[in-house]
Amino acid sequence: MAILKFEDIKFSKSENGARGFFLQQFYFDIEKSELDRLGKWKLKSDALEIEGPDNIKKQFNFLLEQKLKELKSVQGKDAIYVYEGLLPLIGSLYFGIIDRNTNIIEIRPQTGCNLNCIFCSIDLCRRERDFVVSAEYLAKEAEKLARLKLQKHSETIGFPVRRKLESFRACKNVEIHINAQGEPLLYAPLAELVKKLKKIKGVKTISMDTNGSLLTEKKVDELVKAGITRFNISMNAFSSSTAEKIAGIAYPIEHVKKMCKYIAKKCDILLAPVWLHEINDKDIEQIIKFSKELEKIRPQQKVPFIGVQNFLEYEHGRNPVKEQSWEKFFEFLEKLEKKYKMNLKLSRENFSIEQCNVLGKPFKKGDVIEAEIVCDGMFKNEKLASAEGRIISIHNCNKKGRIMVKITRDKYNIFYGSA
């Protein structure tokens, strides 16, 4: 009898066999007939027990490999598990690692969100599939990029020779910022990922964005112990009515306020509301007042407690209000600065953000290159291709295999192309 138990997979009985829940937010089904072919089986304590030949584990692992290609998210979307060898982690806005030419390394471990915000920049309801990335793979690639950021010579570290430094200026320390296109707290191995990131030499700060609705005192303690040094809370309203209007569903604003006060006792916190003109103007003022309460709880904090953001319109996003010009946005902030006697026009210096070593691009906008189609993208008729250690998003594409791609975007090593 072989007991098949996995840390990231929990099995339960389904109508036609067994269902495996992968990283809590994803699942796959194994038909009874598929299990019967392996041997006599039963479910026991989230595990599978199978009586069969000596190589039963090898046989099951082969079946499991196929099933992980048929993942679904709990929202019913197709899902793709990204592991080392499937796709690079640089090149996509959806998942992986983003380098915006500073000492901050952005980590995006998973797509998907538990809210339905009226101003979502990419309108996640339009997505056809989700992505989730191996924590081990993310940490390994983040370490390579952190080493590159810190190096004091022009020799490339951990990357193919063609990807040389675009600019050369070593930074003193690195911040890793976890900001999924969605809600990072949905990523089951988040604490495990943070622990791995904390071990990277030169990483001084590990921050993360969250809408706060899934936070508990236990979760806060777990993440702080793992290495989180700052929570950025996307608090866009202060009253329940406005909070639910903006979130698109019921939003526990009072619980989030309580969690903010608890966080302030444990580590740094930043309230990061988005100003939606004529929707949350009054709420922004209330959030400013609330930030002053947090400051009293955590007087030792060096970074600001609040950073108001201007709403920006996006082609594929939801746009409930008209985007305000930067001039009007700063006028709005200046009035609040005078009223509350505090600085709201923040700069990179407030968070010790500096320009530093930049990973070079293997190709640039206008180049025609050969790439390998690997999988479908997040949206309809989109493909993700791989070339020279980069992901390339290709819209309106139904091709397979190796194809020629014209690069249409290359900013920050995020690539789009046409085929």
Strands of the sheet containing 203-210, edge to edge, are 96-99, 104-108, 174-178, 203-210, 230-233, 268-271
Strands of the sheet containing 72-73, edge to edge, are 9-14, 17-22, 26-31, 72-73, 78-82, 129-133
Structure tokens at 251: 């939003």
pLDDT at position 153 is 62
Task: Give residue for tokens 């709880």.
Answer: 297
pLDDT digits (tens, 9 = 90+) for 159-170: 443 344 455 689
Give the residue-averaged pLDDT of 340-349.
96
pLDDT at position 315 is 74
pLDDT at position 314 is 81
Structure tokens at 192: 């495990």
Give the residue-averaged pLDDT of 192-220.
98
What is the CATH superfamily name and number for domain 363-418?
Nucleic acid-binding proteins (2.40.50.140)
pLDDT digits (tens, 9 = 90+) for 231-269: 999 999 999 999 999 999 999 999 999 999 999 999 999
pLDDT at position 152 is 78
Q: Is the pLDDT of residue 158 over 50?
A: no
User: Residue 61, SS3?
Assistant: helix
For residue 142, what are the contacts with CB-CB under 8 A and spacing of at least 6? 97, 105, 107, 176, 197, 200
pLDDT at position 54 is 85
pTM summary value: 0.92
DSSP 8-class letter at 85: T
Q: Is the pLDDT of residue 138 over 50?
A: yes
Q: Is the pLDDT of residue 156 over 60?
A: no
Tell me, rounded to whole angstroms, the distance of Cα 90 from its chain centroid. Answer: 13
CA distance 334 to 267: 29
User: Residue 130, SS3?
Assistant: strand
Could you tell me if residue 388 is left (phi over 0), alpha (psi between -120 and 50 degrees) or otherwise beta?
left
pLDDT at position 161 is 35
Cβ-contact 182, 170 below 8 angstroms: no
Q: Return mean pLDDT, the chain.
A: 93
Q: Is 65 exposed, middle or buried (0-12, 13-18, 19+ CB in 10 A)?
A: exposed
End-to-end Cα, the chain, rounded Å: 51
Domain boundaries, the chain: 2-70, 78-351, 363-418
Nearest Cα neighbor of 97 from 107, 85, 112 is 107
Angle between helices 217-226 and 190-198 (to 10 degrees): 30
For the beta carbon of residue 372, count every other beta carbon within 10 angstroms.
14
CA distance 17 to 63: 14
Task: Give residue for tokens 């989700």.
Answer: 130
Q: Is the pLDDT of residue 367 over 90?
A: yes
Q: Give the lowest-confidence range in 101-110, 125-134, 343-352, 363-372.
A: 125-134
CATH C-level class of 78-351: alpha beta
User: Residue 53, SS3?
Assistant: coil
For the beta carbon of residue 402, count every other beta carbon within 10 angstroms.
12
Question: For residues 365, 383, 119 and 211, what is the CA-based torsion angle, rounded to 10 degrees?
Answer: -110
Nearest Cα neighbor of 211 from 280, 177, 175, 259 is 259
DSSP 8-class letter at 104: E
CA distance 80 to 26: 10
For the beta carbon of residue 31, count every other beta carbon within 10 angstroms.
12
Give the residue-averaged pLDDT of 147-162.
63
Give the residue-averaged pLDDT of 108-116.
94
Percentage of residues in the chain with pLDDT exceeding 70? Answer: 96
CA distance 76 to 265: 38
pLDDT at position 168 is 66
Q: Is the pLDDT of residue 1 over 90?
A: no
pLDDT digits (tens, 9 = 90+) for 382-394: 999 999 999 999 9
pLDDT at position 160 is 42
Percentage of residues in the chain with pLDDT exceeding 90? Answer: 86
Cβ-contact 25, 188 below 8 angstroms: yes
Task: Give residue for tokens 């201007």.
Answer: 310
Structure tokens at 414: 């995020």
Structure tokens at 348: 């990179």
pLDDT digits (tens, 9 = 90+) for 91-102: 999 999 999 999
pLDDT band at 122 (very low <50, low <70, confident <90, very high): confident
pLDDT band at 361 (very low <50, low <70, confident <90, very high): very high
pLDDT band at 154 (very low <50, low <70, confident <90, very high): low
Cβ-contact 111, 182 below 8 angstroms: yes
pLDDT digits (tens, 9 = 90+) for 42-95: 998 889 999 988 899 999 999 999 999 999 999 889 999 999 999 999 999 999
